[in-house]
Amino acid sequence: MIKNRIDILERIIKKKFRSDFETVRKAFLALDTDYDGFVTVEDIFRHFGMSEHLNYNDLKKLICDKDSKNNGRINYQDFSRWVGSSIHMSEGFYFRHDSQKNPQYDTNLAVFNRITNMNSLEQ
């Protein structure tokens, strides 16, 4: 029961981070309003405000689970590990096919073709 509530809370928080922030760094800096280098339960409450989904004890448990140093607060590395994939999932690199050539891609393709040809000759 508690595990379900915490999982739901984590999904809600990650979704909110994904919609509110472009990068993990910006999210961390926005939450760390006292500039101590850590995000706490209180920092998250301050950002999200009171919500029916936010329960202090569940959020505290979630933070403790994500905290590698077990001090009840999350540093940037822990925060990045926790929500980084959620935030960066919404970002992406799009190669425009109508743009100029991509030299790095062409180089990698040439190397790949050389290796492939050498392997086929050996067989």
Cα within 13 Å of Cα(39), Cβ side? 28
Question: From CA 42, how far away is CA 49, in angstroms rounded?
Answer: 10
The string of pLDDT tens digits covering residues 21-59 is 888 888 899 999 888 899 999 998 888 877 777 888 999
Which residue, among 43, 34, 55, 52, has the nearest Cα to 79 in the 3D structure? 43
For the chain, the average pLDDT equals 81
Quickly state the pLDDT bin for 63 (edges 50, 70, 90): very high
Residue that has been written with the tokens 């809370």 in this structure:
9
- The pLDDT, as a whole number, for residue 20 is 87
CA distance 48 to 30: 11
The residues with which 39 forms a beta bridge, in sequence order, are 74
The topology (CATH level 3) of 2-89 is Recoverin; domain 1 (1.10.238)
